[in-house]
Structure 1
Amino acid sequence: MDAAGISTSEPAGAWREELRATLSLAWPLILANVTQQVIQATDVLLMGRLGSTPLAAATLALNMTFTFNVLLLGLLIASSPMMATALGQRSNAVRDVRRTFRAGLWLLIIGLPPYWLILWNVGTLMRWLGQAPELAEQGQTFLRAYMWCTAPWLLFQLLRNFVAALERPRIVLWLSLGGIALNALLSWSLIFGHFGLPALGLVGGGVGSTITWVALCGALIVVVRRDRQFRRFHLFGNWWRFDGQRTLAMTKLGGPIGITMALEMGVFALAAYFMGWIGAPAVAAHAVALQIAALTFMVPLGLGQAATVRVGLALGRKDEAGITRAGWTAWIMGVGFMGSMALVMWAVPHWMVTLFLADVAANALTIELAISFLKVAAAFQLVDGAQVIGAGMLRGLHDTRWPLFFALFGYWGVGLGIGSWLAFGADWKGVGIWVGLASGLAVVAVLMLARWNLRDRIGLTRLAHD
Structure 2
Amino acid sequence: MVAPSQQAAGTSAEAPTSWATEFRATFALAWPLVIAQVAQNAINTTDVIMTGWLGPEYLAASTLASTFIMPFLVGGIGLVGAVAPLTAQARGARDIKAVRRIVRQGFWVALLTALVLVPIILQIRTILGWLGQDPVLAMRAEEYTQIAAWLLFPGLGIIVLRSLLSTFDAARVVLLVTLGGVVVNFIGNYALMFGNFGMPRLELRGAAISTVITNIAMFLALLTYVLRHRRFKRFHLLIRFWKPDWPRFRQIFRLGLPIGLTVLAEVSLFTAAAMLMGRLGTDEVAAHAVALQCASLAFMVPMGIGMATTVRVGIAYGRRDRVGISHAGWTGLALGTAFMTLSCFAFLSFGPSIVSVFLDPTKPENLNALTLAATFLVIAGIFQLVDGVQVVAAHALRGLSDAKIPMIVAIVGYWLVGLPIAYLLGLVVGWRGIGIWIGLAAGLAFVAVVLLARFALRERIGLLRQIS
TM-score, normalised by the number of residues in structure 2 = 0.95
Task: Choose 456-465 or 161-170, whichever is displaced more.
Answer: 456-465
Pairing 1:208-227 to 2, within 5 Å after superposition: 208-227=210-229
Counterpart of 2:263? 261
Q: List, as ranges, runs of 4+ consecutive aligned residues in structure 1 with deviation greater than 6 Å.
A: none
Counterpart of 1:237? 239
Counterpart of 1:4? none
Counterpart of 2:161? 159
Question: Is 2:33 the counterpart of 1:33?
Answer: no
Pairing 1:361-376 to 2, within 5 Å after superposition: 361-376=364-379
Question: Is 2:54 the counterpart of 1:68?
Answer: no
The alpha carbon displacement at 1:260 in A equals 0.6
Measure the CA separation in 2 of the matches of 1:187 and 1:242: 40
Q: Which segments of 5 or more consecutive residues in structure 1 lack a partner in the other structure?
A: 1-11
Measure the CA separation in 2 of the matches of 1:321 and 1:177: 36
Counterpart of 1:403? 406
Tell me, yes or no, if the aligned pair for 1:26 and 1:306 is still in contact at 8 Å: yes
Tell me, yes or no, if the aligned pair for 2:111 and 2:153 is still in contact at 8 Å: no
Tell me, yes or no, if the aligned pair for 2:26 and 2:309 is still in contact at 8 Å: yes
Counterpart of 1:122? 124
Counterpart of 2:86? 82
Measure the CA separation in 1 of the matches of 2:315 and 2:111: 29
The alpha carbon displacement at 1:94 in A equals 2.3
The alpha carbon displacement at 1:464 in A equals 2.4
Task: Choose 261-270 or 49-58, whichever is displaced more.
Answer: 49-58
Which of 117, 139, 144 is the matching residue for 2:146?
144
- Counterpart residue identity of residue 186, structure 1: G
Question: Is 2:50 the counterpart of 1:46?
Answer: yes
1:234-273 deviation digits (Å, cap 9, x = unpaired) = 1222111122211111101010000010010000001000
Tell me, yes or no, if the aligned pair for 1:315 and 1:463 is still in contact at 8 Å: no
**Secondary structure of 1:397's aligned partner:** coil
The alpha carbon displacement at 1:13 in A equals 6.2
Measure the CA separation in 2 of the matches of 1:202 and 1:261: 27
Counterpart of 1:424? 427
Identity %, equivalent residues: 43
Question: Is 2:18 the counterpart of 1:24?
Answer: no
Evaluate the alpha carbon distance shift between residue 13 and residue 116 of structure 1 in structure 2; reply closer, same or farther with a 3 A threshold.
closer
The alpha carbon displacement at 1:330 in A equals 0.6
Tell me, yes or no, if the aligned pair for 1:316 and 1:463 is still in contact at 8 Å: no
Tell me, yes or no, if the aligned pair for 2:192 and 2:206 is still in contact at 8 Å: yes
Which of 194, 198, 209 is the matching residue for 2:196?
194
Question: Is 2:411 the counterpart of 1:440?
Answer: no
Counterpart of 1:3? none
**Secondary structure of 2:18's aligned partner:** helix
Tell me, yes or no, if the aligned pair for 1:224 and 1:231 is still in contact at 8 Å: yes
1:323-345 deviation digits (Å, cap 9, x = unpaired) = 00000001011111101110110
The alpha carbon displacement at 1:106 in A equals 1.3
TM-score, normalised by the number of residues in structure 1 = 0.96
- Counterpart residue identity of residue 301, structure 2: V
Tell me, yes or no, if the aligned pair for 1:75 and 1:104 is still in contact at 8 Å: no
Counterpart of 2:185? 183
Counterpart of 1:390? 393
1:373-410 deviation digits (Å, cap 9, x = unpaired) = 00000000000000000000100000000001110111
- Counterpart residue identity of residue 21, structure 2: E
Q: Which segments of 5 or more consecutive residues in structure 2 lack a partner in the other structure?
A: 1-15
1:81-104 deviation digits (Å, cap 9, x = unpaired) = 1000000001xx222011111211
- Counterpart residue identity of residue 198, structure 2: G
Question: Is 2:65 the counterpart of 1:56?
Answer: no
Measure the CA separation in 1 of the matches of 2:323 and 2:298: 30
**Secondary structure of 2:431's aligned partner:** coil
Measure the CA separation in 1 of the matches of 2:171 and 2:237: 17
Measure the CA separation in 2 of the matches of 1:418 and 1:346: 23
Counterpart of 1:455? 458
**Secondary structure of 2:181's aligned partner:** helix
Measure the CA separation in 1 of the matches of 2:166 and 2:386: 25
1:206-232 deviation digits (Å, cap 9, x = unpaired) = 001111111111111110011111111
